[in-house]
Structure 1
Amino acid sequence: MVEEAAKKNLYDAARKGELAKFQQILQQDPFLLDEVSFESAGNLLHVATMWRQAAIVEEVLKINPRLATSLDSRNSSPLHIAAAEGSLEIVKKLLSVAREACWWRDCHDMNPIHVAAMNGHAEVLKELLQLDLFPAMERVHRGQTVLHLCVKHGQLSTLQVLVDKFDEFLDAKDDDGETILHLAARSNHQKITAYLMGSDKITKDWLSKISLIMSTKLRSRRDKRSLKKIKLLQILSTALTMLDNVPKLRDVTMVVASLIATMAFQAAVSPPGGVWQDDTSSHTAGKAVMESVHPKMYKHFIRANTTAFVSSLFTIFLITSTYGVPSINFVFDIIAEYAMWVSLAAIGVSYGASLMMTNSMEALSISHIVAVVVSVFLVVYLSACLYTFIETMRKLTKKLYHFHG
């Protein structure tokens, strides 16, 4: 049983950093270090770490490094405490003997990386991340990421460290469906919100969420100036949503263009009606039968098929060459979309010519085919425009109803 006086002297020496006194007490009883513990503060290593006494920590680890793996009543290791206090020197000493403590969670379900991040200790956080990145990927209460913790506690310095290393967490949502930008705006952390808004890694969907949050706050004021701001924010949100859909549109366009290019290439090497298999005075082996039987129609077929192939390749070239270009530059997107429509029309004409050749429809002319293709395109296009107009009016009416209600 350890005497209370010796216990108190050892505690005081560890708290005040009196290394000589600490060593003197332990020389009298070498086993005292292992026997002394405190109900809430843990062992002497916890105490020295809590009071940022690096010399005492080093001495304790020299005598018994296993104390670095012990936990206090809050399930905190000495590394948890060092991370909370922001003592970089002590963190380095503890990591040298107990690296595995980076993974351990305290009573709040947080590991030392979470603790350092929420307390704003950027240098400590960098040291911990240098050792292992994976503990930072662990989520905490309500599915929050370590970035959520930084925003929640208003710690911009540690957030900046983490954003550079974990940009995949930027649009991660917690159990409430909030991203870190959403949380920053709702919590009115202006500096963090401004930092995230200025980041080139931010997505347009985030910006639309911010406009929604600001609109909600402004709507509660019900004054004319606020109403004007709401309208501007709604326009901004709509525009940003459209911008966010551009990459998806590029993907669809790329798939369609690739398919048309494949079809056009196949039609060129295997034309309708096949190719001649032998050489005669009127034709050569390998030449298209259609060229000899229906030379005029074959010319139209070749022109349409070549147009489809070239315009598809041009579309693919535009999309691949502008990959990664900010979607706010619509020039290439519009040209690529137009080229795709040209290739669609051309492959339609090519199909019509093939149909006439293989199904005894010689009575039809190429003008009939073009008329049919154009008519179908117009019907589809006008139907899509009408549907879009009706949906837009329906949503606008619904918004106005809720706004005035």
Structure 2
Amino acid sequence: MESKLYEAAAEGNVTIFLELIRQDHLLLDRVLVNYAIETHLHVAAMLGHTDFVREIIQRKPEFTRELDSRGSSPLHLASAKGYVDIVKALLFVNPDMCLAVDIEERNPLHLAAMKGQVHVLNELVRVRPQAARVTVSWGETILHLCVKYGQFASFKAVVEVMNNQEFVNAKDDYGMTVLHLAVAYKQIETIKFLLTSTSVEVNGLNANGLTALDVLARSRRGLKGFDIAESLRDAGALRAAEISHWRIETPPLIAQNVATNQPDREYQWVQKTYKKEDWLTRKRDSLMVVASLMATMSFQAGLTPPATERSHEAGTSIIADTNQRYYSQYLAANTISFMASMSIILLLITGLPFKRRLFMWILTVIVWIAISSMGFTYRISLLVFTPKSQKLTVTRVLEYAVIAWIGVMALLLLAHTIRLIVIVFNKVENVKEETQKPPPPLSYTKNINL
């Protein structure tokens, strides 16, 4: 009789179930006492047989509290599979099973979040919202699990119901917040949602003393990383070293200004310095990507120069045989672009002092040279590919483009050069003023010595 009951549960056959109960009124009680692995309610809930589940819990609601060999209740199984009707039926009988945990300390809400069952998750949170605050092993919250298993829809659903600062900034046993974890997993959508729609602490420290920006800096570089860095910086994120310096420098300045009723000029200056450093850091990361792309393009262009279908010596460049002047110009421009790009990468890797405007000016000039050389390479390639009937028109268009480009580059270079000269001149004047200051009065010097 019990084996037939399990077969009926697996098939979801209510007719056979009712017939078995008619034949043996104590059948459910025997199963409740003798089952070793799972009850037939576990089987029906796991397979999504809604009518069968309702028939069982109507006769024996205590089956909803039974756990299988892994500590899972029928609500665990139905939640993981996303059977909303079964979840509602089980919750109606025993809503406290939302708080029951399996051998891995996960309740039904955790499983629904991990599997992306948003409709089930909304129902569970509505009935027992406190179950969403239960942590699993290693102190992970339900938000940590959503990020860990890449379930943004579940993450958003939980946050929209329980969006408070303490919950969003909760840390696991390693001190990792959901922002740390989302940055580590490069989940841009989750990061942007946290930064724009929650009160997440962007500069929170984990157990190793790292902020989210530090976690990003230690991860593998890529295009996603630069997008994430931009979003974090816009939200005011800092590196741990910057935070330490901030905390050391600002309190005395603020205290002094409050005592003297003066505006926080020094505090504003510190903020301005950090904004400047953030901009330089972002520019450095962008330059690294641009330089790598330009170096790759120049290297590929050097190995595969433009060609037309003409006879030539095998293994040599076609353009070198057909037009040596174009080939010389092409090779020179491409080599300059490649060497300039490699120089940028070398300067960035060796730790260029970005706070010095002179070095930034040098780096900017090298970037201009690399981009301009690549533009000349593109010009020569077009001239090689263009048929003779259209070469005159294309040549004129390219000449105008080159003249315009040279004019823009010249203006930018002149503006930056003038700016650099003015800065250097102002620094020299400041030094002269300091050296020309008269010595302090003798009485003042004596007082200081005393």
Matching residue of 2:178: 180
Match of 1:356 in 2: none
What does residue 30 of structure 1 align with?
25
Look up the match of 1:211.
Answer: 213
- 1:39 paired residue number: 36
The aligned residue for residue 77 of structure 2 is 81
Give, in whole Å, the separation in 1 of the partners of 2:114 and 2:30: 33
- Which residue of 1 is the match for residue 168 of structure 2? 170
How far the C-alpha of 1:180 sits from its partner, in A, is 0.9
Among candidates 343, 354, 363, match of residue 261 of structure 2: 343
Do the aligned partners of 2:202 and 2:236 also contact (CA within 8 Å) in 1? Answer: no
Describe the shift of the 1:75–1:217 C-alpha distance in structure 2 as closer, same or farther (beyond 3 A).
closer
- Per-residue deviation, residues 360-399 of structure 1 (Å, max 9, x unmatched): xxxxxxxxxxxxxxxxx99xx79x99xx99xx9xxx9xxx
- In structure 2, the CA distance between the partners of 1:238 and 1:85, relative to structure 1 (3 Å rule), is closer
Within 5 Å, give how 1:281-296 maps onto structure 2. none
Within a 5 Å distance, the mapping from 1:215-234 to structure 2 comes to 215-217=217-219
Out of 153, 158, 170, the position equivalent to 2:154 is 158
Change (3 A) 1:403 1:152: farther
Q: Is the alpha carbon distance of 1:218 and 1:189 closer, same or farther for their aligned partners in structure 2, counting shifts above 3 Å?
A: closer
Q: How many pairs does the alignment contain?
A: 264
**Structure 2: distance between partners of 1:84 and 1:200:** 27
**Do the aligned partners of residues 17 and 155 (structure 1) sit closer, same or farther apart at CA in structure 2, a change above 3 Å counting?**
same
Where do residues 86-105 of structure 1 align in structure 2 (5 Å cutoff)?
86-105=82-101
Q: Could you tell me how far 1:117 is from its partner in structure 2?
A: 1.5
Off by >6 Å, runs of 4+ in structure 1: 242-245
1:214 partner letter: L
Query: How far apart in 1 are the matches of 2:117 and 2:16?
Result: 31
How much does 1:239 deviate? 5.7
SS of residue in 2 equivalent to 1:204: coil
In 2: Cα distance, 1:198 partner to 1:146 partner: 20
Residue pairs, 1:187-198, within 5 angstroms:
187-198=185-196
**Alpha-carbon distance in 2 for matches of 1:105, 1:190:** 31
Task: Give the deviation of 1:175 after TM superposition.
Answer: 1.0
Secondary structure, aligned partner of 1:89: helix
The DSSP-based 3-state class of the residue aligned with 1:96 is helix
Q: Is the 8 A contact 1:172 1:179 kept in 2?
A: yes
| 1:267-286 → structure 2 map (5 Å cutoff) | none
Whether the aligned pair in 1 keeps the contact of 2:195 and 2:235 (CA below 8 Å) is no
**TM superposition shift of 1:50:** 0.9
Asked if the contact 2:87–2:120 (Cα under 8 Å) also holds between the matched residues in 1, the reply is: yes
RMSD: 4.6
SS at match of 1:116: helix
Given candidates 49, 54, 60, the residue that maps to 1:53 is 49
1:151-170, CA deviations, whole angstroms, 9 ceiling, x for partnerless residues? 11111111111112333322
- What secondary structure does 2:197 align onto? coil
Can you give the 5+ residue segments of structure 1 that lack an aligned partner in the other structure?
Answer: 1-5, 258-336, 346-376
2:9, 2:52 within 8 Å by CA — same for their partners in 1? yes
Q: CA offset at residue 237 of structure 1?
A: 8.7
Which residue is equivalent to 1:107?
Answer: 103
Which structure 2 residues correspond to residues 118-137 of structure 1 after superposition, within 5 A?
Answer: 118-137=114-133
Kept after mapping to 2: 8 A contact 1:143/1:174 = yes
Give the distance between the partners of 1:244 and 1:137, measured in 2 at CA: 30
Label 1:103 to 1:218 Cα distance change in 2 as closer, same or farther (>3 A).
Answer: closer
Distance 1:123 1:199 in 2: 21
SS at match of 2:116: coil
Letter in 2 for 1:213: V
Structure 2 segments unaligned to the other structure (5+ residues): 282-346, 352-450
1:13: which partner in 2? 8
Give, in whole Å, the separation in 1 of the partners of 2:236 and 2:191. 20
| Partner SS for 2:3 | helix
- Check the 8 A contact 1:79/1:112 in 2, yes or no: yes
Residue in 2 that maps onto 1:369: none
What letter is aligned with 1:172? A
Alpha carbons of 1:39 and 1:125: their partners in 2 closer, same or farther (altered >3 Å)?
same
Q: CA deviation at 1:197?
A: 3.9
Aligned residue identity for 1:69 = R
Judge conservation of contact 2:184–2:219 (CA < 8 Å) in 1.
no
User: CA deviation digits over 1:181-210, x for unaligned, max 9?
Assistant: 211221233433343344353433269944
* Contact kept? 1:211, 1:237, Cα under 8 Å: no
Task: State the identity as a percent.
Answer: 31
| Equivalent-residue separation in structure 2 for 1:194 and 1:123 (angstroms) | 23
Name the residue aligned to 1:294: none
CA distance in 1, matches of 2:36, 2:218: 49
Instruction: Report if the CA contact (8 A) 1:142-1:175 is conserved.
Output: yes
Q: Report the residue type matching 2:261 in the other structure.
A: S
The code of the aligned residue for 1:217 comes to: S
Deviation string 1:247-284 (CA, Å, 9 cap, x unpaired) is: x9xxx89x979xxxxxxxxxxxxxxxxxxxxxxxxxxx
| 2:329 equivalent in structure 1 | none
Q: In 2 relative to 1, CA 201–403 (structure 1 residues): closer, same or farther, beyond 3 Å?
A: farther
Give the secondary structure class of the aligned counterpart of 1:23: helix
Give, in whole Å, the separation in 1 of the partners of 2:147 and 2:119: 18
Change (3 A) 1:256 1:12: same
Of 44, 48, 59, the match for 1:63: 59
> For residues 101 and 124 of structure 2, what CA distance do their matches in structure 1 show?
15
